[in-house]
Amino acid sequence: MAVARLPPLPTIREIIRLYGLRAEKHLAQNFLLDLKLTDKIVRQAGNLQGAHVCEVGPGPGGITRSIINQGVQDLLVIEKDTRFIPSLEMLTEATEGRVRVACDDILRVNLADAFPHHIKRDWKDDPPNLHIVGNLPFNVSLPLMLRWLESVADRTGPFSFGRTRMLLTFQKEVAERLTAPPGDDQRSRLSIMAQHLCQVKQCFVIPGAAFVPKPQIDVGVVHLTPLRDPEIDAPFKLVEKLVRSVFHFRKKYCKRGVETLFPVERQDLTQEVFDTSGVDPTQRPVWLTMEEFNALCMSYKNIIQRIPAMFHYNYR
């Protein structure tokens, strides 16, 4: 099947001038104007011919154009900023309806009903022909990523269709945290939460100079594919609470973080966690492997099953 490319349209620079657009600092907006670079980003998603795609935060539509030129069947763009809607609707007309434009906040959107149900795949099968792509504003990237990871665990939202793949941009530091191995200085709560649920790959780094306006930092392009089986067999909120507690004291022994899961008068439970998991309590959090986090979570899970009230204990 031939790829249906866009007809001649105003360039992104011309669109910005035509509609008087500018990146708003309070929204952490930065534009990509080089279509060769946006093409390179979109290629990291794999073959998009005939695919269904959700693009988050398209702005003036640079990455949007590159997605369309890959021959997608259906592209839903979700943009909160009303200033960009007219230029995006121009793409709807140019593609004879293959582009759907939604003016909404992605943090409030449920994507479970946004695509046809026939594209659904069983979780153990190959991923569905559905992709999420986004040059995310820096101020929403972390909360949105954590929300999507919880949806991966629960198999809800875009992951109700199966193991939907994601191609996203983050501040370079966040991208490094997503992919950091044990022992890396960037190893963090985000590393564990992402890697226990997804195969995470940092594709390449975009220099800040490529954006308009130029941010003070570089940007990492990250591809995530949900795993068939999570590395940690425990509920998302339980894993998140234990991992967050451990990394809260990242420079100390991991025992210090586990201690905060229990009241002072029940520190026998801290000892039980390490006795039953076999994890060295003097290990630093950044050096803990996924297998060790799994062991800690299993021990904590067993305690919670025996004493449910302990899960609701909050340090300080």
Binding residues for S-adenosyl-L-methionine: 30, 32, 57, 79, 105, 135
The verdict on whether omega for the bond into residue 158 sits within 30 degrees of 0, i.e. cis, is no
Are residues 207 and 218 in contact, defined by beta-carbon separation less than 8 angstroms?
Answer: yes
Taking the C-alpha atoms of 154, 160, 164 and 167 in order, what is their torsion angle to the nearest 10 degrees? Answer: -70
Q: Which of 102, 30, 25 is nearest to 60 (CA)?
A: 30
> Which residues carry a binding-site annotation?
30, 32, 57, 79, 105, 135
Beta strands in 107-218 (DSSP E): 130-135, 165-171, 198-206, 211-212
Distances (CA, A) of 82 to 85, 86, 208, 252: 5, 8, 25, 47
Are residues 35 and 194 in contact, defined by beta-carbon separation less than 8 angstroms?
Answer: no
